[in-house]
Amino acid sequence: MIRYRWAAWGDLNAFFGLMLDNVAVLVLLVATLTAAPNQFTPQFVLECMVPGTALGVLVGDLIYTWLAFRLARRCGKSDVTAMPLGLDTPSTFVVGQLVLLPALENALKEQGADHDTAMVFAWHVGAMVLLLIGLFKTICAPFGNVVRAWVPRAGLLGSLAAVALALIAFMPLLDVGAAPPVGMLALVVILVTLVARRSLPGHVPGALAAVAVGVLIHFAGQALGEAQGWPLVPSEHLNLNLTGSSTPLPGHVWQWDWWERVVIAGLEKLPIMLPFALATIVGGIDCTESAAAAGDEYDTRSILLTEGLASVLAGLAGGVIQNTPYIGQPAYKAMGGRAGYTLATALFIGAAGFFGWFTHIFEFLPRAALFPILIYVGLEITAQSFHATPSKHYPALALAALPALAYLITIPVGAALAGRAPAPPGQAMVQTIYGLANGFIVTSLLWGALLAAVIDGASIRAAIYLLIAAACSLAGIIHSPFVPGEIAWPWEVLAKLPEAARYQSPYHWAAAYVLAALLVLILMRSGTKPVEATETEGRPSTAE
């Protein structure tokens, strides 16, 4: 019987990658909630929201560590790599901007609460939303294997590659570019050590070396800049200002009226968050497929059930960010990671959340030094997606990336508009971008699967994908006309449809998909069969 080598030198590299990834998301949460006056205080976020959020990572990564041991025992393999789990980056933006901050504003203005009480109310609303979507994901978990068996790999990995490039790789690049002396040098270390896989002297982990180089240059640049009177690098530290005592819980927290208002507010925010819960379910299926392509065949139901239960426990403990399997399993396997890195991440994040270490971590690590590891994960997963997909399905992978690019555009557009309506000439374009972006992960999956089925000549399956897209668009799961996307019945949508979306209602999208399904059946049944091509046709040989 082969002995499982659950800990290896590569686990150290993988640990810093996964740990820093989670820390980066928590940095994002704190920065979002504390960026302006009359918002959450840093102390409140760190003492109330972060511990419960860290608990979800602790529980989830411990279970994934155990699943790696179980898979190694069942398959008799010594090199099984655990599935990584962490905090969902896309929904962190939404939780902060569209759940927690609006709930805080509502409590301050409409309920007339003082600032401390309003913060507690908004925190409870965020935890309630996380609890509800965790229950939703837990209920959906048993159907993961069915979806994975029915959807082609191009559909599953296409949406994964789109997220990897558009969000996980590109968004951190903005922080790298904001401080080039720090970010670019840290990124070069990542590219040389993790992408090109060249070892450093003494086998120092590349992720650790990148952060160390970035931190060193950051503080050296600040010191030199102060001496010369002009900045060499920006000051990126969060102004935590942690003086004073903790915010006490108001006495009426224990009254029924308080929790009734919390539940109602949480249910009102559920349509905003459900698409992101669905996205993590699809992402979990993607991650399982990606791990299988890398050689580790996990049970999809167990992977999804773990993320659902971890989110439920985090919500019960006051966490506000949902947990999700990270798409970096092939990347961590390439680093040489086994199960030690998820165990170490679980213990570190759990201990840091419980003992309050994140206060010191956030004050010490500049984002430009921290975020290049996310760029590596995005590049590695994109490369793995193409490697694991037949070359004839490459167009399907490219098509699946387009909705993610639409979502990427909404980030600067939303920041530029800041809640204002765009000028009339641009209203239709902005509305179209948001329509394509809302529910983009599900859209990417369906579009990629559709084109793969068309290429394979499976006309009925292609038509079914289009009909599923029609049903999803009717419910607002994809192509919701609202900012942000909301799940609602089409007749409810029509009552408050934006003027710019009068030609992009749920009925328009559903009709387009239904007609496209009929057209696919007609064209593929009446047309001639394509000429068979070899895997390398039209592409240069490796010798070139």
Q: How big, in percent rounded to 5, are the helix, strand and coil portions of the chain?
A: 75, 0, 25
Q: Note down pLDDT in tens along the chain; length 544 residues.
A: 578 889 888 898 789 878 988 887 888 788 788 876 678 988 899 889 999 999 999 999 999 999 999 999 998 888 899 999 999 876 787 788 778 988 998 888 877 778 888 999 999 999 999 999 999 999 988 887 776 677 777 777 777 777 778 777 887 888 888 889 899 999 999 999 888 888 788 777 788 889 899 999 988 888 887 665 566 776 655 445 554 445 566 666 667 788 888 999 898 888 778 777 877 887 788 788 889 988 899 998 999 999 999 999 999 999 999 999 987 788 788 878 999 999 999 999 999 988 888 877 877 778 788 888 778 877 877 887 888 788 899 999 889 888 888 888 887 777 676 656 666 566 778 888 888 888 887 888 899 989 999 999 989 999 999 999 999 998 888 888 877 666 777 777 777 777 767 778 888 899 999 999 999 999 988 866 766 554 444 443 333 3
Report pTM. Answer: 0.73
CB 122 within 8 A of CB 57: no
Cβ–Cβ < 8 Å for 391, 196: no
Q: Are 4 and 72 in contact (CB under 8 A)?
A: yes
Q: Write down the pLDDT at residue 187.
A: 93
Query: 320: exposed, middle or buried (C-beta count within 10 Å: 0-12, 13-18, 19+)?
Result: buried
**Structure tokens given for 63:** 């279970």
**Exposure letters 198-215 (e unless 16+ CB within 10 A, then b):** eeeeeeebbbbbbbebbb
> In this predicted structure, what is the pLDDT of residue 539?
40
pLDDT of residue 484: 64
pLDDT at 65: 96
What pLDDT does residue 305 have? 94
- Smallest CA-to-CA distance from 513 within 479, 470, 483 is with 470
Residues facing residue 86 across a β-bridge: 324
Give me the DSSP letters along 406-431.
HHHHHHHHHHHHTTPPPPHHHHHHHH
Q: Are 384 and 294 in contact (CB under 8 A)?
A: yes
